[in-house]
Amino acid sequence: MRVLVVEDEVRLAGTLRDLLEMDGWAVDVCHDGESGLDNALSGIYDVVLLDVMLPRMDGFTVLHRLRAGGSAVPVLMLTARSEVSDRVAGLDSGADYYLTKPFEPKELLACVRALSRRQPELRRGDTLSFGDLRLERAAFTLSCAERSVRLSRKEFDMMELLMLNQRQILTKESLLLKIWGYESDAEDNNVEVYISFLRKKLGHLHSRVKIRTIRMVGYCLEGGE
């Protein structure tokens, strides 16, 4: 059983690691939000401990993007701030539990154990399918029959969103928001660039699936029949 700790205060992160390891967990630590998100999306963790105030990407954004990416890993948010509005924001964005610092080690361990036992019924399968395509979430690969290609992080995020929203039109704005986040200065043409990368990969796979452009609106998949 493996826990990911995303905490920028190095001493506290070390304390959490020691505490969890003594309780029998395998522990990985990240000190910023971006690497925390990348690791959390790997799908290898049973529980994620997530600080709110983090460099590079705050905990709420990490959580939002983790859920947008289809991960249902139990998340325990940790923060020094105890305001009610933070608690609400945390739960709204898909946190399973919220603990304010300083916390009792026993309470923290009890929370982690309880969350790890939670049935992962909401967890989606490790493979998404559409038409002749399969997206392997653990390996970041897209396959069609015998061919497969590895996707970059953003290509993967985009393909996953398209597959999770089959037959819906995804606007450029929603793709930008879900993939690049609220604080990014990415623009519409970032979306176009990644759509063109994905189209090249679909061509390479000889898939019948196409990414259709709906002018002035967005994108959707076709060829799933």
Q: Can you give the binding site for Ca ion, defined by CB under 5 A? A: 8, 51, 53
Nearest CB to Ca ion, comparing residues 15 and 171: 15
- Nearer Cβ to Ca ion, position 32 or 136? 32
Task: Return the residue matching tokens 């969350």.
Answer: 115
Residue nearest to Ca ion (CB): 53
Query: At its nearest, how many Å lie between Ca ion and the CB of residue 49?
Result: 12
Sort strands 75-79 and 2-6 into parallel, antiparallel or unpaired. unpaired
CA distances from 211 to 90, 196, 218 (A): 34, 9, 10
Residue 27: CB minimum distance to Ca ion, A: 17
Rounded distance, CA 41 to CA 22, Å?
Answer: 25
Query: Beta strand 170-171 with 210-214: parallel, antiparallel or unpaired?
Result: unpaired
Q: Residue 61 or residue 207: which is nearer to Ca ion going by CB?
A: 61
CB of 77 to Ca ion, least distance (A): 11
Beta carbons of 43 and 137 less than 8 angstroms apart: yes
Task: In angstroms, give the least distance from the CB of 2 to Ca ion.
Answer: 22
Task: Indicate the residue type of 27.
Answer: V
Nearer to Ca ion, 8 or 28 (CB): 8
